[in-house]
Structure 1
Amino acid sequence: MTNKIIGYLLLVLSLTFSVHSYASSFKKLNVTATAYNSVRAQTDSSPNIAAWGDRLKPGMKAIAVSRDLLKMGLKRGSKVKISGLPGEYVVLDKMHHRWSRKIDIYMGKDVRAAKNWGKRRVTITVVHS
């Protein structure tokens, strides 16, 4: 009986640690990147407020991430580097659940810059999650 209990405890512990390590397992990931703006035509009546309540301001290096990336270990406040762009970007917004392996780069009110960015494949590197 004692061996059975120990076996169950070991199984539970190993599953717990393996789930935790999966959640923070990636350091680099290839994703699709688009861009968005804080204008009413692209959001709602409060275009400067992100999904977690953060106030977005032009010039911020912020991104929205698809929810599957949140399940992989990214969270509000995570910092990432995006291939092809300078500096670090902070996860401050999340996307509709229909998207996967996708980020949306915040470009303030510069709609032209967002359209010029278009849709690209990039690699994100987690700096801090």
Structure 2
Amino acid sequence: MFTVTRLLTVVLLTISMVGIASAGQKRPNSLKVTATAYNSVSKQTDSTPDVAAWGDRLKPGVKAIAISSDLLKQHGLTRGDKVRISGLDGRYVGEYVVLDKMHSRWRKKIDIYMGKDVHEAKRWGKRKVTIHW
């Protein structure tokens, strides 16, 4: 016969084991952000437009994003993280790598790298998307 003490012991052990088993697993995060596009041209960046904030060299065709500083500080994203973006279509679907940082004035914002195609970046405009990492 189970006593209340035995029952509680079994329940607590089960909860503890589940907690320990999932402790090392990273939970997926997601957040709704504003997405714009940018290019590696000096008019949009600085005198070294192909070099991102952490020193990575950007080349057309690379699926990279720049993120606002709050995504670094408050949400735990960092250089090299892989990010999936919901709300994209066509050739933009896929996984992106965080390789650049945005000016500190921006909040909940990403910039999608579009090489040197300024026309395409302007056509992209500004959209609300959800990022997953």
TM-score scaled by length of structure 2 = 0.74
2:101 to 75, 94, 103: 94
Residue 114 of structure 1 is matched in structure 2 by 121
> Larger C-alpha radius of gyration, 1 or 2?
2
Structure 2 stretches of 5 or more lacking a match?
A: 1-25
Structure 1 stretches of 5 or more lacking a match?
A: 1-23
Taking the aligned partners of 2:39 and 2:128, their CA distance within structure 1 comes to 19
Residue 9 of structure 1 is matched in structure 2 by none
Taking the aligned partners of 1:119 and 1:26, their CA distance within structure 2 comes to 25
Structure 1 residue identity aligned to 2:84: K
Taking the aligned partners of 1:108 and 1:28, their CA distance within structure 2 comes to 26
Taking the aligned partners of 1:100 and 1:124, their CA distance within structure 2 comes to 14
Superposition pairs for residues 31-46 of structure 1, below 5 Å? 31-46=33-48
Q: Would you say how many aligned residue pairs link Structure 1 and Structure 2?
A: 103
TM-score scaled by length of structure 1 = 0.77
Report sequence identity in percent: 71
Give the conservation status (yes or no) of the 8 Å contact 1:25–1:73: no
1:51 to 50, 53, 56: 53
